[in-house]
Amino acid sequence: MKSLLLPVSLWAALFATTALAEPARAVPPSMPQVQLTFAPIVKRIAPAVVNVYARSIVQAPTNPIFSDPMFAQLFGNPQMRQRVQQSLGSGVIVRADGVILTNNHVVQNGSDIVVALADKREFKAKVLLSDPRTDVAVLKIDTHGESLATVPFADSDKIQVGDLVLAVGDPFGVGQTVTMGIVSALARTQVGATDYQFFIQTDAAINPGNSGGALVTTDGRLAGINTSILSRTGESIGIGFAIPANLARRVLEGALGGGIKLAWIGADGQPVTAAIAANLGIAVPNGVLLRSVYPGGPAANAGLKVGDVIFSVDGQPVNDMQSLNYRIATHKPGDVVKMHVHLGKQASDVSVALALPPENPPRQLMAIGGRNPLTGARVENLSPATAGELQLPLMAKGVVIVSVAAGTPSGGYGFQPGDIVRGVNGQAISGTDDLQRALNGTNHWDLVVDRGGQRLTLSVDG
């Protein structure tokens, strides 16, 4: 066996390098280091996290057996009675005069909203804005001049995977609870909780009742609004999601400034797959491949076209339309963003001036009446603005159903919000006036409807 002879000095250097790689271990030199705690942060933010109760009146059958659709079908419509339904969630005070952020789904359809502070005082709350697209709602309570504790906003774009976070809320109504975890992931876009899907994922325990509560950094700033969990049991398994603070702040600004107006890019796209990347000569399969660009929209005005790939917005990567829409939504209409884009065979930076989606043609909201299959539906002309609100394709045109009243012919025939009416009795429908004329003066209706990219037909005799 051959031995390796090295100078003594080199052996010493190698030994020193190995020794430095070992983590230093030492007894904490002082009692404060032994007693490291988040208690001071929790003490400061706890008064700013509240309970939110939303009461609503619902119709329920007098006999519970008629809750089963089979019995209702056999014995006809049961006698109904009014019942009070209450949902429980949490909220975060973000302004000392009593402005509170929570989830839209906590207060949705609530006729009586009550906020309970950490000291058990209760206040009736007014809903300043409730936005189902972002699942954020803004409430206001009358503090009678009292200044309340608040949680200041963090810049959620600076949060990193591995950061420690605290979740504060009222799970299961047991009382204010604080849990700790880390940021497990960023930019989760396939959760399905909001239209603008872009969530902070955490393993801090989040349970029913935590919705609308605070996800807080270890320096006591609001990283996000806890909104949903992934679970097969309904209880926390360590996969929770929070709406980033930067988007929640945009909704807050809209509520205090005359309504939320989310910016628009005027383009639609899909993730870049490995096959697409190879075809375009892109080294790594990331970015958003543009499939449609609205003429005269922000993207078109910046020179973008179908087939271009957007890699980032202001240095933040985007890999699907959800993340691109989120990055746009955190800006205001009129802001100019810098996008790193693959144009043809080369990459370059492009400045895009964001705008509001146009209402062209005008909405012309109409309630359908008379004797026809669409009676009870509310419809309006499709424009980029309405298409964006209903999460329909960018270039969709025609007349869209925006709501369907229960117990009306439109509800009975199964029409749904988002359905696009294409034709009636062979006549193409391009506007609400066309639709109303086509429905009147006949006892037979052949309807053609688009739903989620599928074409459906319905034939009704009157």
| Catalytic-labelled residue, pool 87, 130, 131, 135 | 135
**Residue 19 pLDDT > 60:** no
pLDDT at 269: 92
| pLDDT 10s digits, 439-460 | 988 889 999 999 988 999 999 9
194 or 124: whose pLDDT is higher?
124
Query: Model's pTM, two decimal places?
Result: 0.76
Any idea what the Cα angle at residue 451 is, between residues 447 and 452, rounded to 5°?
Answer: 160
| pLDDT 10s digits, 68-93 | 554 444 455 555 555 555 778 899 99
CATH 1.10.10.10 fits 267-353, yes or no: no
| pLDDT 10s digits, 242-270 | 999 998 999 999 899 877 788 999 999 99
Q: What share of the chain is helix, strand, coil (3-state, %, to 5)?
A: 20, 35, 40
Spacing of C-alpha 395 from chain mean position? 22
Instruction: Check residue 79 and report its DSSP letter.
Output: P
**Fold of the domain built from segment(s) 156-256:** Thrombin, subunit H (2.40.10)
**Cα 13 from Cα 98, distance rounded (Å):** 63
Structural class in CATH, domain 366-461: mainly beta
For 367-430, the DSSP string reads E--SSSTTTTEEEEE--HHHHHHTT--TT--SEEEEEE-TTSHHHHTT--TT-EEEEETTEE--
What average pLDDT does the segment 161-178 reach? 88
261 or 438: whose pLDDT is higher?
438
Q: Determine whether 308 is an active site residue.
A: no
| Catalytic-labelled residue, pool 105, 331, 340, 342 | 105
pLDDT at 3: 47
| pLDDT 10s digits, 267-314 | 999 999 999 999 998 988 999 999 999 999 999 999 999 999 999 999
Q: Which CATH architecture has domain 45-141?
A: Beta Barrel (2.40)
State what percent of residues in the chain have pLDDT above 90.
49
267-353 with 366-461: one CATH topology?
yes
Q: Which of 85-99, 165-179, 180-194, 291-305 has the highest mean pLDDT?
A: 291-305
Q: Determine whether 30 is an active site residue.
A: no
Q: Determine whether 323 is an active site residue.
A: no
| Catalytic-labelled residue, pool 87, 156, 211, 312 | 211
Using alpha carbons, list the distances in angstroms from residue 56 to 106, 120, 239. Answer: 11, 22, 30
What average pLDDT does the segment 308-334 reach? 91
Domain map (residue ranges) of the chain: 45-141, 156-256, 267-353, 366-461
What average pLDDT does the segment 384-389 reach? 86
Give burial (CB, 10 Å; 0-12/13-18/19+) of 374: buried
**Residue 461 pLDDT > 50:** yes
